A and B are shown apart, each in its own frame.
Chain A
Amino acid sequence: MALKFPIFMDAQSTTPCDPRVVEAMLPYFTEKFGHPASRNHPFGWEAEGAVDAARQRIASLLGARDPKELVFTSGGTEAINLALKGAAEMYREKGNHIVTTMIEQRAGLDTCKRLERQGFEVTYVPVRPSGLVDVDDVGRAITDRTILVSVMFANNEIGTLQDVAAIGKLAKARGVIFHTDATQAVGKVPVDVEAMGIDLLSCTAHLMYGPKGVGALYVRRRGPRVRLQPMLDGGGHERGMRSGTLPVPLIVGFGRAAELCAEGMPEEGARLARLRDRLQDMILSRVDEAFLNGDPARRLPHNLNISFAYVEGESVLMGLNKETALASGSACTSATLEPSYVIAALGASTELAHSSIRFSLHRFNTEEEVEFVGKRTIEVIGRLRDMSPLYELAKEGVDLKSIRWKAE
């Protein structure tokens, strides 16, 4: 089969909508346009029915007992904000301490930073070189003032899967609410809020072949009943936790996406892991001083993150971007102009954070695409190393750490 360019391998930034998702959504833009809160006419009933069906599908994907435990939001960022700020404000009387990790996505970290400015105390638990959080470290961080533990399910850069069930169990034993940012995991790997002791869970549709602009926060209703202070004032939709007219077409798409993920998860996960492993083997067997970031085993099946010593990430992406869309942890590719704090948290040198490349696969990637991307990546790394003064020095046997660098 002929390759179609550009190839998309940046599926941890977003995924394409599955055509079946779009098909399910379309009628809800035009003939089925009702407001789900219109209780007194068929347009409203139809919209409410569609939202309920989608809610049921997403609840089922998460292992939630009751679809009412889902609160629709505008996406993952809002879900995380609502979970952290909503719980912090609601339980302020009980305590002012939050435990989270150093590798949460920006929505989690920046929300915690804001809460710190408002008088909360936050402990940022470090991770091991594999990216795994030591559950005992989380346990040690919890005090009698702790109200919330927030640990991401799967990391957005390195794909490392945390031991969520163990953290859930720990949080329950200590009487602390447990939130997990599962935006990267839901639809990709099994998630079960009951079995894993999750009280709050954030997810988003656009990372699981659904539309952009919709996400959900799972809020446990029983054992314990979790309450949140809403962030938006208004009509009291979503059990009072998130006012605002529900975006029915997006929710319908989210529901259909959840259904498709649930149906195909084992096969799709195995297929993507096979493709990912092929890409990893190709690159690591042919490029020296290329280092796998993250835990090789406890990892999302579609994630591959490699640091290529002596080359800078943006220059790698530039060499590939006519044909392939990838991501890097280099400063030049980040909005903050800082290199990846996730790779830095693994204990790697800052230079290797600048040199990290993330390949993230999706449902529609093919074997041919993987072969092509692997081959081109190897070529581009070779070309850039021929141009790299660091590679030249290293090959001459100079220890780069022995040089007194003149930074700007």
Chain B
Amino acid sequence: MAYSDKVVDHYNNPRNVGSFGKETPGVGTGLVGAPECGDVMKLQIRVNLDTGVIEDAKFKTFGCGSAIASSSLATEWLKGKTVDEAAKIKNTDIVNELRLPPVKIHCSVLAEDAIRAALADYRDRYADKLDGAGAPVASA
């Protein structure tokens, strides 16, 4: 199977590979997939607790080139978005951007799952500081 130029580019120059330190504030982590299925994605967001904006995102992926590209692209898109905006990223956006063939759609689904898992983890951790939608509660 030939890969699209965008997949090749993300594979060769993955954006935002890495992990945040355990003590970094505002971090939400998603770990999705399973080793026996051949793909595991770890996606992390670092949210500014004052503004609710995702200031940084990082990933590590065990999986095929399309899985690596999908998660790399996801981190690019997450940066600068608010938590609410981030929740609107759809796997089909990733499919279209990377021109993934049908057999690789599950890679984009996994990336969407990873985004949701990271957002959920962020909300869990910082629930006391957030209103219902995940935005920070204005202090009186």
Which residues does A use to contact B, with CB under 8 Å? 310-312, 314-315, 318-319, 330-332, 337, 339, 349-351, 354, 386-392, 400, 403, 405-408
Give the chain B neighbours of A332 by CB distance below 8 A. Answer: 38, 64, 66, 103
Are the CB atoms of B36 and A351 closer together than 8 Å? yes
Knowing A387-B68, A406-B32, the reply to whether A315 touches B63 (Cβ < 8 A) is yes
Give the chain B neighbours of A311 by CB distance below 8 A. Answer: 62
Q: Does B41 contact A (CB under 8 A)?
A: yes
Knowing A332-B64, A408-B109, the reply to whether A351 touches B14 (Cβ < 8 A) is no
Q: Which A-chain residue is minimally distant from B17 (CB atoms)? A: A387
27 contacts between A and B (CB under 8 A): A312-B39, A312-B64, A314-B64, A315-B67, A315-B68, A330-B38, A331-B37, A331-B38, A332-B38, A332-B66, A350-B35, A351-B35, A387-B17, A387-B60, A388-B62, A389-B41, A389-B42, A392-B60, A400-B35, A403-B31, A406-B31, A406-B32, A407-B36, A407-B37, A408-B32, A408-B109, A408-B110
How would residues 14 to 48 of chain B score, 1 for a CB under 8 Å from any chain A CB and 0 otherwise? 10010100000000000111111111111000000
Report Cα–Cα, A388/B67, bound state, in Å: 12
- Among B62, B65, B109, B110, point to the contact of A389 (Cβ < 8 A): B62
Are the CB atoms of B19 and A407 closer together than 8 Å? no
Which residues does B use to contact A, with CB under 8 Å? 3, 8, 11, 14, 17, 19, 31-42, 60-68, 103, 106, 109-110, 113, 117
Least Cβ–Cβ distance between B41 and chain A, in angstroms: 7
Are the CB atoms of A337 and B62 closer together than 8 Å? no
Report Cα–Cα, A354/B37, bound state, in Å: 8
Knowing A387-B14, A389-B42, the reply to whether A405 touches B35 (Cβ < 8 A) is yes
Are the CB atoms of B33 and A408 closer together than 8 Å? yes
Report Cα–Cα, A232/B38, bound state, in Å: 41
- Among A354, A387, A392, point to the contact of B38 (Cβ < 8 A): A354
- Pairs of residues from A and B, 9 with the lowest C-beta to C-beta distance, nearest first: A405-B34, A389-B42, A350-B36, A314-B64, A351-B35, A389-B60, A354-B38, A318-B65, A407-B34
Give the chain A neighbours of B17 by CB distance below 8 A. Answer: 386-387
Report Cα–Cα, A214/B119, bound state, in Å: 57
Give the chain A neighbours of B35 by CB distance below 8 A. Answer: 349-351, 354, 390, 400, 405
Are the CB atoms of A318 and B40 closer together than 8 Å? no
Least Cβ–Cβ distance between B112 and chain A, in angstroms: 11
Give the chain B neighbours of A318 by CB distance below 8 A. Answer: 3, 8, 11, 64-65
Are the CB atoms of A390 and B38 closer together than 8 Å? no
Least Cβ–Cβ distance between A99 and chain B, in angstroms: 30
Are the CB atoms of A408 and B113 closer together than 8 Å? yes
Give the chain A neighbours of B113 by CB distance below 8 A. Answer: 406, 408
Report Cα–Cα, A303/B115, bound state, in Å: 41
- Since A314-B64, A387-B17 are in contact, a sample of 18 more A-B pairs with Cβ atoms closer than 8 Å, ordered by chain A residue number, is A312-B63, A312-B64, A315-B11, A315-B68, A330-B38, A331-B37, A332-B38, A349-B35, A387-B14, A387-B68, A388-B60, A388-B61, A388-B62, A389-B31, A406-B31, A406-B117, A407-B34, A407-B36
Give the chain A neighbours of B62 by CB distance below 8 A. Answer: 310-312, 388-391
- Among A330, A331, A349, A389, point to the contact of B40 (Cβ < 8 A): A389
Q: Which B-chain residue is minimally distant from A330 (CB atoms)? A: B38
Q: Which A-chain residue is minimally distant from B117 (CB atoms)? A: A406
Report Cα–Cα, A354/B40, bound state, in Å: 12
Report Cα–Cα, A350/B40, bound state, in Å: 14
Give the chain A neighbours of B38 by CB distance below 8 A. Answer: 312, 330-332, 339, 351, 354
Give the chain A neighbours of B68 by CB distance below 8 A. Answer: 315, 387
Report Cα–Cα, A231/B32, bound state, in Å: 49
Report Cα–Cα, A408/B39, bound state, in Å: 10
Report Cα–Cα, A339/B61, bound state, in Å: 18
- Among B11, B32, B40, B65, point to the contact of A390 (Cβ < 8 A): B40
Interface centre among A310, A314, A391, A403, by most chain B C-beta atoms within 10 angstroms, is A314
Report Cα–Cα, A351/B36, bound state, in Å: 5
Report Cα–Cα, A172/B48, bound state, in Å: 76
Give the chain A neighbours of B67 by CB distance below 8 A. Answer: 312, 315
Q: Which A-chain residue is minimally distant from B60 (CB atoms)? A: A389
Knowing A318-B3, A408-B106, A408-B113, the reply to whether A349 touches B36 (Cβ < 8 A) is yes
Report Cα–Cα, A405/B113, bound state, in Å: 13
- Among B61, B64, B117, point to the contact of A387 (Cβ < 8 A): B61
Are the CB atoms of B41 and A406 closer together than 8 Å? no
Least Cβ–Cβ distance between A395 and chain B, in angstroms: 11
Least Cβ–Cβ distance between A28 and chain B, in angstroms: 35
Give the chain B neighbours of A337 by CB distance below 8 A. Answer: 103
Are the CB atoms of A330 and B61 closer together than 8 Å? no
Give the chain B neighbours of A331 by CB distance below 8 A. Answer: 37-38
Report Cα–Cα, A405/B40, bound state, in Å: 9
Knowing A331-B38, A354-B38, A386-B17, the reply to whether A407 touches B33 (Cβ < 8 A) is yes
Report Cα–Cα, A391/B40, bound state, in Å: 11
